[in-house]
Amino acid sequence: KMSYNMPQIKNYAHEWEPYALDVLAAVLDGGKSARLSKELVRTQQILSSAGAGNDLLNRYASVFSLSATPAKGKTLKDAHQALTKQIERLKTQLVSQVELQRVKAQVSADKVYSQDSISEQASYIGFLHMIDLSWRFIDEYPDKIQKVTAEQVRQVAKTYLTQDSLTEMFLT
């Protein structure tokens, strides 16, 4: 597991950064067409499973995490190198517009559909209040995701996914 330390949502240098990190997480792990699953699990067969996530809503500082299980015949070192290569790629290459639009639509839809029931909405509003965020976050989130650019995704990768903020754990 690779975890990068992140600020609390209100403490980013720019308001768009936590949303760009959510988009970045979905580029890596937003279903079967996401990079980790498509490239490292199915195509290259380096990993048997992989995941990425941005812990956006937290009362205190949070983390952006990557996890992976090496495929049969592959090592933890192989898995680590593959994940690191994906992170470096995000720092140097822009996400394509097609990939960006797909991911933004998926992230927005996931957030909207997660609020289908009144009880889910009430729970979410209570949670937002608990971490000192307005209930308006629910309505603003999809719009902020839609405004994320490929350059912003690259910028947050360069700014926050650094060796200095990384904690790694290897389980054998």
127-149 residue pLDDT tens = 899 888 898 988 899 999 999 99
Q: 95, 150 in Cβ contact below 8 A?
A: yes
Place of tokens 């970045």: 24
Segment among 54-68, 109-123, 141-155 with least mean pLDDT: 109-123
Residue 94: CB atoms within 10 Å: 13
Where does the pLDDT of residue 159 fall: very low under 50, low under 70, confident under 90, or very high at 90 and above? very high
What average pLDDT does the segment 152-168 reach? 97
Q: Per-residue pLDDT for 117 more than 90?
A: no
155 vs 134, residue with greater confidence: 155
Backbone angles phi, psi at 127, to 5 degrees: -65, -45
Half-sphere exposure of 15 (CA within 13 A, CB side): 7
List the structure tokens of 6.
Answer: 């992140």
- 166: exposed, middle or buried (C-beta count within 10 Å: 0-12, 13-18, 19+)? middle
